[in-house]
Amino acid sequence: MSSRLPSWKELPIGAVILEPGSSRRYKTPEWRTSRPVINQDKCIRCRICWSYCPEPAIIEADKPYVTSANKRYEISYLIDYDYCKGCGICAQECPVKAIEMVPEVR
Amino acid sequence: MGKVVPLSGNSAVAYAVKSADVDVISAYPITPQTTIVEKLAEFIANGELDAEMIHVESEHSALSAAVGAAAAGARVYTASSSQGIALMYEIMFIASSLRLPIVMTIATRALSAPINIWNDHSDFMAVSDTGWIMMMAENNQEAHDDIILAYKIAENPEVLLPVVTALDGYFMTHTTEPINVIEREEALSFAPKRKTWFTLDPDKPVTMGALGDPQWYFEFKKQQYEAMKKSREVIERSIDEFARVFGRRYNAVEFYGDENPEVVLVAMGHVVGNIRAYLNKMRSKNSRVGVLKVKLYRPFPEDLIVRYLEDVEIIGVVDRALIPGSSSPGPLHSEIVTALRKHEVNTKTLSFVTGLGGRPVTHEHIGVMLSKLSELKDKPVSELPREPLFIGVRE
């Protein structure tokens, strides 16, 4: 968010938004009371968190990862903390409990 | 000038809507409004009006479709009464907040229960906080003319607010009067169709109806407040222009009666005409009485009200709606008391509640109200009744 928001005189009337796709700029980290943290070692890359995330704020990244048991994955699931609202659905749905909701401390 | 034809109030409204060349009509039938949109459907079927008639399954949808059509840039019309207006309540706020210049007629009618299809101002008053400009006609010619005036005001880029034009159910909607019909060319020259508001256009995409969280919502309410305030000037200018073009003047507030009145009845709608007739009948008695007609209800023309009432001894406000539990259960009385108090005017006020659920306000009732005012005009404020006086109810 910019430091100074527009006054009522500067805004288009009727709360109309003139710029398409401007919601990309609307970031919601303040909405979270806790943040999902993925344990990459436990994660089995099933994609369930990715498909359940309502935002979607889970990114399927082409980022190889080798677990401590020496298993190699070609992808990693990452959280986009700009848009994650901390709803916890991913942690709830994860079949191997690889996602932990960690309280936000500010 | 157009020709003079005998028309019912509802037909008079429909003819004006036709002349305004609306693009979309979205409506659901309800007594006593039905014959407005019935007539409009007939115009479309006959090829006299090139508009889309959207048949919907409820008034909630009627106004929702009107919002959508106005958002797409159409000149839109709808009409309803009573329970239908109550069902539109939610969408009325959305129409005014999205700043869409919809025009809607309320054929005023009582609200249930008990079920009552007859006239009072319960529906009109119940939606007076929804952010719409609101006006009420006294006769069918005025109801006809108000439609053209309403589009002129609503679509003004300095306003962009929806407008309610009201006429009294049955007493006006189903009563025939000679109407000087405004023709299409005249209407469109007075209120040309211009897209003065943001519209949904694939070539120039905008988002309407988005979330406005605590960081944004407040600013849009302030904008609405300012637009409503600004509309007063635009309304005055439009009234002047209408009078110039069509030769008929409808002031926001109009006084009729003695030049230097000490007793004034304040009223809205067809009852004003009844009070005028009563005053004409009694004129020989040389009494200093008058009637103040309030045409414009939102924005409430408090400056004019104060100007007309500041030197009057006592006024009686005739309310045809009742808000139980309010500090003034007559809504018009409440507005007037606030206006007088704000301007530190000490005119005494009485609140009359009368004519609910279609009970006629007769000359006998008007006589009772005026005698009550004469009787109390020299009493100190402390001795005036604080409760409304119910005129015409069986005790």
- Span B180-229, pLDDT tens digits: 999 999 999 999 999 999 999 999 999 999 999 899 999 999 999 999 99
- Record: contact B223-A20, CB cut-off 8 A: no
Of the listed ranges A65-74, B281-290, B312-321, the one predicted with least confidence? B281-290
Is residue A92 situated within a structural domain? yes
What is residue A1's predicted lDDT score, i.e. its pLDDT? 46
- Record: contact A13-B205, CB cut-off 8 A: no
Phi, psi of B111 (to 5 degrees): -100, 145
The answer to whether residue B383 scores a pLDDT higher than 50 is yes
Is residue A98 situated within a structural domain? yes
Is residue A13 situated within a structural domain? no
Is residue A2 situated within a structural domain? no
Phi, psi of B15 (to 5 degrees): -60, -40
Is residue A38 situated within a structural domain? yes
Mean per-residue pLDDT, B75-94: 98
Cα separation values, B386 from B172, B314, B335, B374, B389, Å:
32, 14, 15, 17, 9
Domain count, chain A: 1
Average pLDDT, chain B: 97
Mean per-residue pLDDT, A83-104: 97
Cβ of B319: how many Cβ atoms within 10 Å? Answer: 28
Of the listed ranges A1-5, B220-224, B286-290, B363-367, the one predicted with least confidence? A1-5
The answer to whether residue A106 scores a pLDDT higher than 80 is no
Mean per-residue pLDDT, B137-164: 98
Q: What is the pLDDT of residues B21-67, one digit of tens each?
A: 999 999 999 999 999 999 999 999 999 999 999 999 999 999 999 99
CB-based contact (8 Å) between B225 and chain A? no
Distance CA B9, CA B146 (A): 12
Which CATH number belongs to the domain containing residue A54 in this structure?
3.30.70.20
Query: Buried b vs exposed e over A63-97: b needs ≥16 C-beta within 10 Å?
Result: eebeeeeeeeeebbbebeeebbbbbebbbeebeee
- Record: contact A16-B206, CB cut-off 8 A: yes
- CA nearest neighbour of B387 among B324, B335, B344, B297: B324
Please give, one letter per residue, the 3-state secondary structure of B284-297.
HHCCCEEEEEECEE
Of B206, B223, B226, the CB nearest to A18: B206
Start-to-end CA distance of chain A, whole Å, equals 17
Whole-model pTM?
0.92
The type of residue at B109 is R
CB-based contact (8 Å) between A13 and chain B? yes
CB-based contact (8 Å) between A6 and chain B? yes
ipTM: 0.88
What is residue B376's predicted lDDT score, i.e. its pLDDT? 97
The answer to whether residue B166 scores a pLDDT higher than 70 is yes
What is residue B335's predicted lDDT score, i.e. its pLDDT? 98
Distance CA B25, CA B40 (A): 8
Query: Buried b vs exposed e over B261-270: b needs ≥16 C-beta within 10 Å?
Result: bbbbbbbbbb
Structure tokens at B378: 């020299």
Phi, psi of A47 (to 5 degrees): 80, 5
The answer to whether residue B147 scores a pLDDT higher than 90 is yes
Name the CATH code of domain B253-391 (choices 3.40.50.12280, 3.40.50.920, 3.40.50.360, 3.30.470.20).
3.40.50.920
Mean per-residue pLDDT, B115-124: 98
Does the domain at B4-246 match CATH 3.40.50.970? Answer given as yes
Is residue A6 situated within a structural domain? no
The answer to whether residue A8 scores a pLDDT higher than 90 is yes
Residue of B67, B159, B198 to mutate when probing chain A, most A C-beta within 10 A: B198
Tell me which chain B residues have a C-beta less than 8 angstroms from the C-beta of A28: none
Of B198, B205, B218, the CB nearest to A12: B198
Residue of A4, A7, A13, A22 to mutate when probing chain B, most B C-beta within 10 A: A13
CB-based contact (8 Å) between A17 and chain B? yes
Structure tokens at B329: 């259960």
Is residue A91 situated within a structural domain? yes
CB B209 within 8 A of CB B215: no
CB-based contact (8 Å) between B219 and chain A? yes
Distance CA B220, CA B226 (A): 10
* Percent of the residues in chain B that have a pLDDT greater than 90, as a whole number: 97
Domains B4-246 and B253-391 share a fold: yes
- Residue A64: domain span: 27-103
- Record: contact A20-B205, CB cut-off 8 A: yes
Of A6, A11, A15, the CB nearest to B210: A15
Domain parsing of chain B, residue ranges: 4-246, 253-391
Position with higher pLDDT, B319 vs B194: B319
Distance CA B103, CA B134 (A): 10
Distance CA B63, CA B103 (A): 10
Task: Strands of B271-359 (E only): list them.
Answer: 289-294, 296-298, 314-319, 348-354
